[in-house]
Amino acid sequence: MLDTVSFRGKKALIRVDFNVPLDENFVVTDATRISAAAPTIKHILAQGGTVILMSHLGRPKRGPEDKYSLNHIRGELEKWIGVPVRFFPDCRGVELRQVVAQLQRGEVLLLENLRFYKEEEEGDTLMAQELAGLGADYYINDAFGTAHRAHASTSIIADFFPPGHKLFGYLMEAEVNNATKILNAAERPFVAILGGAKVSDKILLIENLLDRAQHIIIGGGMAYTFFRAMGGNTGKSLVEEDKLEIAHSLLRKAEEKNVQLHLPADSIIADAFAQDAHIQVCDNMHIPDGWMGLDLGPLAIARFCSVLAGAKTILWNGPMGVFEMQNFQKGTLSVAQAIADATASGAFSLVGGGDSVAAVNGFGLSQRMSYISTGGGAILEFFEGKELPGVKSILG
C-alpha cells in the first residue's frame, strides 16, 4: 500500500506507537517499537518526503508532565532513522501549523505527547480535524499497538483524508497481514498457546479459537481455575472463583468441537511467591494447602512440547509461569524453544502480548519466530474477532 504512493515533495503525518519504557534518567530501555516504525519513516524520507510524527507516551493524568514528554525519546529515534529529529513541545496550535508549513523536504518533526490532551482518548472530532489540518498530504497509521482504540489520532483523523491519502505503514500492514493469516488461513495443525494470570482475560479469545485451532494449550495462572472447576485442590494458586462455570463451559465446548484443550499435568509449586521459596513438583489436581503453582512441571513441558513439534501454525499469547523469576521460567523457556524449533521445521509462528514478547526477547529467541507482534491489547482483540477502529478507518 505504501509502495504505491510517491512521497516526493509531500508531507506525511504518521501515527506511531512510541509508548516505550524509560528508566529513571529517561533513557529508553526497550526500543522495539521505535525500531519497528523506522522502515516506514526511512522509506518516506528516501523518496524525498517530509515526516511529522505523533504518538502517546505513558498515561499522563492531567496535562503536560515532563516524565511523559516525547522529547526524551528523540535521541533514540535519531539512532534508528539516521537523521536529525526536530521536536515541537505541543501537538496543537497556530504556531505548530506555521512550523509544519516551513518544513523542508527530508525533515522529521516529532510532536509532543498526544495524551497531554484528554480529547485524544475521547476520540474528539475537533482535535482530529485540527491534526488533519496541519498541512500533511497523507495520513499514515503505523501504530498497531493503539489500533483497538477509537482515539482522535488513531481512527477519527482518517475521516478527514480522502481515499488514497490514508494508508497503513509497513508495521501496521505486517501486523494485520500476519494476524489475518493466523485467523483465516492457518495451515493445520493450528496450535494456540494461551497463558497469563486470568481466565477472564482470555475467555473471548478461547471461544474464537475453538472454531479455528485444533489444539489449545493452557498454561500460567489461568490453568488453576480449570483445575478447581474440575474439582481439584489448587492450594494457594491463583483461581478466579467466579469463573469456574465459564471454565467448565470452555472445556465442554472444546469437546463438542473436537478441539484438544491441553491443561498442564503438573506444576512447580512453591510455599511463597518468591525466588527463594521452597519448591517441589506436584500433580495439578492435588496441590497442598499453603502452596501455589508458579510454573509448568516436567510432564506438562514434555506434553506441550510434543504437541508443538507437530504444529504447522502456532499462536502464542501469555507466559507459562512467573518467568521473571529464574526458578519459575523453565516452562516458558521450554515452550519458547519448542516454538522456535517448530518454526525452523517449517511452521508459521506468531507471538503476541507484552509478556510473551518480553519472554522471547529475554531468552534471545525473537529471531527464531516467524513474527513478533508489537500490539498487546490490539492483537488480543483482533484474535477475539473484534473490529479494530484503527484498521477499519483505513480499510473502510
Q: What is the mean pLDDT of residues 303-325?
A: 97
**Cα 111 to the chain's mean position, in Å?**
23
**Backbone dihedral region for residue 284 (phi beyond 0: left; psi -120 to 50: alpha; all else: beta):** alpha
Q: Show the DSSP H helices in the chain as ranges.
A: 32-46, 74-81, 94-101, 118-122, 125-132, 170-184, 203-209, 223-229, 244-256, 298-309, 330-344, 354-362, 377-383, 389-395
Name the band, by pLDDT with cuts 50, 70 and 90, for residue 374: confident
Do the Cβ atoms of 66 and 58 come closer than 8 Å?
A: no
* Angle, vertex CA 84, rays to CA 83 and CA 86, nearest 5: 140
Amino acid identity for residue 234 in this structure: T
Inter-residue contact 381 to 388 (CB < 8 Å): yes
Q: How far is CA 155 from the centre of its chain?
A: 18
- Average pLDDT estimate for 271-299: 98
- Fold equal for 2-171 and 178-383: yes
Report the candidate in 195, 144, 139 with the shortest Cα–Cα distance to residue 331: 195
| Amino acid at position 339, single letter | I
CATH of domain 178-383: 3.40.50.1260
HEC per residue, 120-178: HHHCCHHHHHHHHCCCCCEEEECCHHHCCCCCCCCCHHHHHCCCCCEEECHHHHHHHHH
CATH homologous superfamily, domain 2-171: Phosphoglycerate kinase, N-terminal domain (3.40.50.1260)
Q: Which of 287, 265, 291 is nearest to 278 (CA)?
A: 291
- Please give the C-alpha separations between residue 379 and each of 149, 175, 178, 282, in angstroms, as whole numbers: 12, 8, 11, 34
pLDDT tens profile 242-267 = 999 999 999 999 999 999 999 999 99
Q: pTM above the 0.85 mark?
A: yes
Could you say which of 10, 74, 181, 198 is catalytic? 198
Please say if the pLDDT value at position 64 is more than 90. yes
What separation in angstroms does the CA of 79 have from each of 50, 82, 92, 159, 185?
18, 5, 26, 33, 37
pLDDT of residue 254: 97
Q: Long-range contacts: 365-371, Cβ < 8 Å, 24+?
A: 365/336, 365/337, 365/339, 365/340, 368/340, 368/343, 368/344, 369/339, 369/340, 369/343, 370/178, 370/343, 371/174, 371/178
pLDDT for res 32: 86
For residue 141, report the phi and psi dihedrals to the nearest 5 degrees.
-100, 115
Please confirm, yes or no, whether 33 is among the known catalytic residues.
yes
377 pLDDT tier (thresholds 50, 70, 90): confident
Q: What is the mean pLDDT of the chain?
A: 96
pLDDT value of residue 24: 94
Annotation says 198 is catalytic: yes
Query: Which residues have CB under 8 Å from 395's CB, separation 6+?
Result: none
| Euclidean distance between CA atoms 86 and 83, whole angstroms | 10
Residues 235, 354, 376, 390: which is the catalytic one? 354
What the block records as the C-alpha cell of 257 is 468441537
Break the chain into its structural domains and give their ranges: 2-171, 178-383
Res 26: pLDDT:
96
* % of the chain at pLDDT higher than 90: 93
- Residue 386 is a catalytic residue: no
Q: Residue 396: pLDDT above 80?
A: no
What's the pLDDT score for residue 205?
A: 94
Residue 370's pLDDT band (boundaries 50, 70, 90)? Answer: very high
**Confidence band for 157, pLDDT divided at 50, 70 and 90:** very high
- Given the residues 33, 202, 228, 236, select the one marked as catalytic: 33
> Which entry of 58, 362, 377, 385 is annotated as an active-site residue?
377
Q: Is the pLDDT of residue 153 over 90?
A: yes
Give the model confidence (pLDDT) of 87-144 as tens digits.
999 999 999 999 999 999 999 999 999 999 999 999 999 999 999 999 999 999 999 9
Whether 42 is catalytic: no
Cβ–Cβ < 8 Å for 11, 135:
yes
Question: pLDDT at position 231, please?
Answer: 96
Average pLDDT over residues 294-308: 98
The mean per-residue pLDDT over the stretch 306-316 comes to: 98
Q: Which residue is it, cell 502464542?
A: 316
Q: What is the rounded average pLDDT of the residues 205-221?
A: 96
The predicted pLDDT at position 58 comes to 95
